[in-house]
Every structure is written in structure tokens, then in C-alpha cells.
Homo-oligomer: A and B are copies of this chain.
Amino acid sequence: MVPAEEIARRHAALQEELAADGLDAVLVVEASDLVYLTGVMADAHLVVARAGEPVLLVRRGIERAIADSPLADVRPLGSLRELGPVLAERGVRRLGLEMDVLPAARYLRYGQLLEGIELADGAEAIARVRAVKSPWEAGCMRRAAAQLGEAFRAAPDLVAHEETDLAIQIELERVLRRAGHQGPLRFRGLNGVMFYGAVLAGPDGAVAPWADTPLGGPGPNAAVGKGPGGWRIADGDAVTVDLVGAADGYLADATRTFFRGEPRAPLAEALRVCAAILDDLEGLMRPGVPAQDLYRRGLELATDAGFGDHWMGHGPARVRFVGHGIGLDINERPFLAEGFEAPLAAGNAIAVEPKLVFPGVGAVGVENSYLVTESGPERLT
């Protein structure tokens, strides 16, 4: 269970951000935001106003919401019509909604039901609060990271002996589960899919992604279209093991690259470059450094090493980031991406993943998850 003081701290921080965005309240319905602000998952609406106690209105799962959430005010919600009076009592005139994920039909329905209330975006305010992790959250992420340690210890033997990348992935999924991995993971946004990460071998590591990730892979079929497709590992192949651990909702993300036999050129050299870039970037993981500086520094180093065209993808599939915030979702603030000038802050949790992709040959890379602290990065993985 999430401690009551942890939830209270989150609400206080959110109330400050609501004031900054000129919102009187937010109406929260998305899973990760709900879990973050209540400590439990339910089919529910949470109202957090700029002042006063939050109220959780539950359509399904109320018994456990009452038992497991520190919130004092948990009530059944029979109909969306009950929302209006709750907001009116709190004097809400400008209401934040999770506009990045709230279905359009629901948005229009709120518009009908909440006449006189201006609807605006509340997702940004919540995301800013979620970007700064507490010591309690860092503890969850350390447990998620420990699962990855077990998987990476099991990987070399599997890389040496299994026939395909998919076979390795299946065994590592079991290692993770037995190490306490929760199973389902969250990738915020329409069509977001995250399934343990991916083991990708040989040229399949360079199959371009449809999602906003540096690596893709063919996947088991065209409907999934990401992850391992069963490449038969040959001598010289790189096997990129990019996995996501998950404990108490919180994720940790890390990548290790292994080789079967003597690595095919230029994969070994490229992996050394990735490792050197990650070492270098650790020096930039401190409060006050603009997030995009890490991306730019990585690109500069990759280019200096002669791998500029292979940096974080290839051709039109290349991504313009070198890492991402991580927490309850795999894609949180801050984004270490071109155009993101906001500075890193103490408490940010970030996954940094320099990768190089060689079409027809393979992909290599390293990745760790870090906590940004005043005294420098704490490596979690």
C-alpha cells in the first residue's frame, strides 16, 4: 500500500500546479494518474480541487478502493450526472481533464453534463508532479531494477544456447515474473503497448519500429509488429536485451547487448561507443541541465565516432531522443529529446539509452535507469 503521507504530498504538489495552470480542479480517470493520486486502481473519477480534500467517485472496485486507498472521501458513482454537483460544491469553473488520453466521446459527454464549466487540459499539471519522484517511489523502482539484474544474469547462457531471440525472450519473461515482475506495463497514449521490452537478434534488431522507440523488431506477426520475430541466431549476431522491470506499479528500464561468437563488424566497436556515450552522459544528469542537451551530446559523440547516421535508429525511423522519464508509465517526463529545453530536476527518474542501428546487420546499445539527485545520478539498474 502507498503510505498516506506519500499521497498527501502528491495532492499538495498537484494543487500548486493547478494554481499555476489556472485550474480550479482536475477530473482524473486514466489508470496511472488514478493509481498515482489514490494508491489504488479502480474504475473511478477522482476530483482534486485547488483546496480541500480530494473525492474519489467509484464505478467499479469500491470495496478495495475503500480498503487500500488512504483517501478519506471514497463514494460510489452511479451516474456521470453526479459529477456536476460535486464540482459545483467546490466552486469549480475551470476544470482540467486528461486531454491526451480522455476519449473524445467522454469529453463531449462531460461538456453536456458540466454546463457552465470551462474544460481545459489537466494532464500537463499531473505530469509535472509525477516527474519528480519521492524516496518511496525510488524504492519501488530499485525493486523493479533488481528484477532486471536477475534477467541479465540469466541472459548470457540463454544467448549462447537458445535457437532464436523469441526463445530467449520467453525464458527471460519467466525469470522476470519469478523475480516479482507484475506483468502488465503501461505506455501512455493511444495504441501504447509495452510487453516486457524486447530481445532482438541479428538483422531483426534493425527492423524499423512503428512506435516512438529506437528499436522495433518484426514482432510475432503484423498485428503486433514489434518485438522478437524468431530470428535464428547465427555466429556474429548481436542480441540486444532491452527489458522493463515492474514492482508496485513502478518501472525500471535497461538494455544490455550480448554477442554470439565473434561480433560482426562494426557491432563491437559500436557497442563500445554506446557505452562511452552513456558514461559521458552521466556527467550531464544533474539538476539544471536542459533535457535536450543529453540528446545533442549523444548525437555529437556518435557523429565524432563515425556513427552519426546510425544514431537512435536509421533513416526515417530514427528517433530524436536519447532517453525518457520513467515511473508508473514507460514514457513520462522529462523527455531527453530535441526541443525539450526544460532543465532536469532533482527527483527525475530517467532511462538513458544510446543505441546504434545498422540495417541488415543489427542493433546494439546500452541503457540504464537513473535517479537525478543534487549530487549526481544514482544508477538504479
Contact = CB atoms under 8 A, between A and B. Distances in A.
Interface of A: 1-2, 29-31, 35, 39-44, 60-64, 68, 76, 97, 99-108, 121, 170, 173-174, 177-178, 180, 182-184, 189-191, 193, 195-196, 207-212, 216, 218-227, 247-250, 316-317, 328
B249 A221 contact: yes
A291 B222 CA distance: 32
A174 B183 CA distance: 13
Copies in the complex: 2
A177 B182 contact: no
A189 B43 CA distance: 12
A151 to B, nearest CB: 14
Contacts of A182: 219-221, 223-224
Given A183-B227, A223-B249, A43 B191 contact: yes
Contacts of A42: 210, 225
A68 B62 CA distance: 45
Contacts of A170: 174, 177-178
B222 A2 contact: yes
A40 B250 CA distance: 31
A41 B222 contact: yes
A207 B64 CA distance: 9
A183 B224 contact: yes
Nearest to A186: B193
20 contacts: A60-B208, A60-B210, A60-B212, A60-B317, A62-B316, A63-B317, A64-B222, A99-B103, A99-B108, A100-B105, A101-B103, A104-B106, A107-B107, A182-B224, A183-B195, A183-B227, A184-B193, A221-B249, A222-B248, A223-B328
Closest 6 CB pairs of A and B: A223-B249, A61-B210, A41-B225, A104-B107, A99-B105, A182-B220
Nearest to A43: B210
Given A41-B210, A103-B101, A104-B107, A76 B316 contact: yes
Contacts of A103: 99-104, 189-190
Contacts of A173: 173-174, 177
Tell which of A31, A63, A210 has the most Cβ of chain B within 10 Å.
A210
B221 A60 contact: no
A1 B218 CA distance: 12
Contacts of A35: 222-223
Nearest to A212: B60
B63 A208 contact: yes
A102 B224 CA distance: 20
A61 to B, nearest CB: 3
Nearest to A101: B103
Nearest to A216: B61
A242 to B, nearest CB: 15
Contacts of A174: 170, 173-174
Contact of A210 (B64, B99, B121): B64
Contact of A61 (B30, B44, B97, B208): B208
Nearest to A69: B222
A184 B317 contact: no
Given A102-B190, A221-B249, 14 more contacts: A29-B191, A31-B191, A41-B226, A42-B210, A43-B211, A61-B216, A61-B317, A64-B210, A76-B316, A99-B104, A102-B103, A173-B173, A222-B248, A224-B249
Contact of A208 (B64, B105, B106, B180): B64
A189 B31 CA distance: 12
